[in-house]
Amino acid sequence: MPVETSYTLLKSLHVICALATLLLFIWRCRAVFSGRALSRRWLRHVPDSVDTLLLGSGVALLFVIGLSPLAGGWISVKLVAVFIYIVLGMVTLHFGRTMAIRRKAGAGALFVFAYILLLAHFKEVLPLAG
């Protein structure tokens, strides 16, 4: 398969998974904050598969475009931001001891997610700085 085709397919998969992971996170937050358990079994397992595809397609993209995660700049900052997003997401959905802590962690996770999207799109550490 030509490199351009693999790049386009991987990037499309990556962007679709990024959108899906955001929607699933918001959906799961709604369940947590309304005190409802996640009744549908798929809602507990699908997010893990989507996240795995998101990370996997991200790593594959790095190979295809020949970029090192340790190159510094936007890609290294993006990976640190992804780690922070995962930790905040776990506090929101699983480990926050009070609802107030979970709400703050959830707001923080959404904020970091928005920053990741800006980083990915503009490829600048301070995307809106001009």
Is residue 84 within the footprint of ligand HEM (CB under 6 A)? no
Minimal distance in Å, beta carbon 39 to ligand HEM? 26
* Measured distance CA(121)–CA(5) in Å, rounded: 20
Minimal CB distance residue for ligand HEM: 58
Binding track over 30-69 against ligand HEM, x by CB under 6 A: ------------------------xx--xx-xx--x-x--
- Chain-centre distance of CA 69, in angstroms? 16
For residue 100, the minimal CB distance to ligand HEM (Å) is 25
How many of the other CB atoms lie within 10 Å of CB of 78?
Answer: 20
Six-digit token string for 97: 């001891």
Asked if 77 interacts with ligand HEM (CB under 6 A), we say: no
